């Protein structure tokens, strides 16, 4: 038996990425608009009105960071060793530190000179 089924598929208006199921990595399908909009709002998407405008969590985070600045909290020392090209000191490492924005995931680096300044 062949059955035609209509469903909704969601994509971000900003980056055009199609919403996928994190478990199966397949495209998520919704039976109606109300179900889709409720799920999107619960998952941190920015929904304008009745779905006229949709932005995924990543785009919402990038927009917020460009407006308010990044949220860098914990700094981690570089775990470089002699095999790393940027490492000038094979014993103590390069002295660089790394951090990631808790909101958008952007990575940043600082050197010992930047920490003193």
| 61 close to 103: Cβ distance less than 8 angstroms | yes
pLDDT exceeds 90 at position 95: no
Q: What is the pLDDT of residues 25-82, one digit of tens each?
A: 888 889 999 999 999 999 889 998 777 889 999 999 999 999 999 999 888 888 775 5
pLDDT of residue 117: 47
The model's pTM: 0.68
- CA 98/CA 103 separation, integer angstroms: 16
């Amino acid at each position: 038996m062949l059955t035609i089924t209509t469903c909704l598929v969601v994509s971000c208006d900003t980056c055009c990425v199609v919403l996928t199921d994190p478990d199966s990595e397949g495209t998520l399908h919704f039976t109606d608009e109300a179900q889709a909009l409720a799920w999107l709002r619960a998952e941190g998407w920015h929904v304008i009105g009745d779905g006229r405008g949709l932005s995924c969590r990543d785009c919402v985070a990038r927009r917020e960071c460009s407006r308010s600045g990044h949220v860098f909290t914990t700094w981690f020392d570089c775990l470089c060793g002699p095999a790393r090209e940027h490492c000038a000191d094979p014993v103590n490492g390069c002295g660089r530190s790394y951090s990631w924005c808790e909101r958008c995931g952007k990575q940043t680096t600082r050197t010992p000179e930047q920490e003193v300044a």
